[in-house]
Structure 1
Amino acid sequence: MKVIGLCLAAVLAASSFVASAETFERVELDKDRTSVQYAGPIKSITKALEGYRWLGQTADMNGGVVFKPYANEKFGKNDTETGGAIMVTAIFYLYDKPVKEAVMVARQSQIPGFVEFYSLDSRELQLHIRMVGDNTFQAFSSDDQYRNPAKNLMTYKKVGQFNQSPYKDQLKSAEESGMWY
C-alpha cells in the first residue's frame, strides 16, 4: 500500500510540474481582427462561460466574474467598430458584491488557444481565456503576461455562489463610525 501511495504522489508531483512548466507563445494577428473571423472557437468559449459564476481565488483576490450574453444590435454592419463583434457583458465581483460591469468584445487572442475579451470602454480591461474542462478556465489579464505563466496565469472555477466577505461584521455605518455629525 505504501508503494502505491508513493507512486501516486510521484505521478501527482510530475503532473503539477508539467502543468507549471507549460510554455506559451505569442503570434502576431491583425490588430483590427473581428470576432467573425474566428467565430467557431469564440462561440464555443462564450457559450461555456455564459450564465455561470466563475470564482478566482489567489492570495490577492477572492472574487470572480459572471458572463452574460450581449445582444449586439450593430452586428453585421461593417461600417461600425462593433459590426463584426461577438460581445458579452462581464460582471466582476469582489467576494459576493458586484464591483464593475463591462460590455466586452470577444476576438482571437494573440496567445494561441485563448480567446481575448476586452472592454468596449477601455481596452486595458481584458481577459485572455481558455477552457480547461467544463468547470474551469484559465486566464491572463493581458496578452503579454504569457511570458511568466507561473505568476500570471489565473484559474477560475465554476461555483454555485461567491464567498461572503469576512469583513461584513466589521463595517460600521457612518453614524456608528463617527463620520456622521
Structure 2
Amino acid sequence: MDKIISVVFASLIATSSFAASAEPFERVDLDKDRTSVQYAGPIKSITKALEGYRWLGQSKDMNGGVVFEPHVNNSFGKNDTETGGAIIVKATYYLHDEPVKEALMVARQSEISGFVEFYGYESRELQLHIRMVGSDTFQAFSSADQYNKSEKLMTYKKVEKFNKSNYRDQLESAHESGGFF
C-alpha cells in the first residue's frame, strides 16, 4: 500500500512540476529606466512575503537558497538622488547552510509579466525575476531573457533551516591539510 501511495504522490509531483514548467510567460515592454516607485504596490507585496524567511531551491542541482531582509533606503522618494526611486532589499545567498554572498538588490517591475525583478545594486548582472506561488513558494528566472525557456524556471520553498553539507565531516582544517604552518 505504501508503494502505491508513493508512486501516486511522485506522479502528482511530476505532473504539477510539468504543468508549471509548461506555462507560457509573456514579455512586456517597459522603460529600461523604470523605478520601484512606479510599481510600489506589487513590489512591496512580494518583498513583504519574502523578507525574513529561508528560501531553499527545489531542484536537484541546488544545495542552498536565499534569505531576503529589508533594507532602509533613506533616499527613497527623493527624486534628486540615484536611489530615490528604489525599493532595496538585502539578499544573502547560501550554499548548504553557509552564507556565500551578500548583495543589496533593487526591486522593480520585471519585463516578465507577473514577476518582480531584483537586480544587484552594485552589479546589474545579478538578477532574480520572482513571482509568489502561494505563501510558501516562489518561482524565479535568473534573467529576463529566460522567460521563454521553462526549464530555466527555478522554484524555492520556505524552510525552517537550510540543509547541512553531506561532506562537512570530510573536510580538513587548514592545519590538517598542510595549508597552514
Give the structure-2-normalised TM-score. 0.89
Deviation at 1:147, TM superposition (A): 1.5
Matches within 5 A, 1:108-123: 108-123=109-124
Distance 1:9 1:74 in 2: 49
Please, which runs of 5 or more residues in structure 2 have no aligned partner? 1-7
Measured at CA, do residues 37 and 122 of structure 1 come closer, stay the same or move farther in structure 2, by a change above 3 Å?
Answer: same
Distance 2:49 2:110 in 1: 17
Correspondence for 1:38 = 39
Deviation at 1:179, TM superposition (A): 2.5
Deviation at 1:85, TM superposition (A): 0.7
Deviation at 1:59, TM superposition (A): 2.8
Residues 74-114 of structure 1 deviation map (CA, whole Å, 9 limit, x = unaligned): 11111122101111100100000000111110000000000
Aligned: 1:177 with 2:177: yes
Correspondence for 1:146 = 147
Correspondence for 1:70 = 71
Aligned: 1:105 with 2:102: no
Correspondence for 2:52 = 51
Distance 2:92 2:15 in 1: 36
Correspondence for 1:3 = none
Contact 1:57 1:63 in 2 (8 A): no
Deviation at 1:27, TM superposition (A): 1.2
Contact 1:63 1:93 in 2 (8 A): yes
- Tell me, what secondary structure is at the counterpart of 2:34? coil
Aligned: 1:167 with 2:167: yes
Please, which runs of 5 or more residues in structure 1 have no aligned partner? 1-6
Alignment RMSD, CA only? 2.1
Measured at CA, do residues 170 and 106 of structure 1 come closer, stay the same or move farther in structure 2, by a change above 3 Å?
Answer: same
Distance 1:145 1:70 in 2: 28
Distance 2:14 2:105 in 1: 38
Correspondence for 1:80 = 81
AA of the residue aligned to 1:27: V
Measured at CA, do residues 10 and 48 of structure 1 come closer, stay the same or move farther in structure 2, by a change above 3 Å?
Answer: closer
Aligned residues: percent identity? 74
Distance 1:106 1:44 in 2: 11
- Tell me, what secondary structure is at the counterpart of 2:147? helix
- Tell me, what secondary structure is at the counterpart of 2:144? coil
Correspondence for 2:155 = 155
Structure 1 stretches (4+) deviating beyond 6 angstroms? 7-13
Contact 1:51 1:66 in 2 (8 A): yes
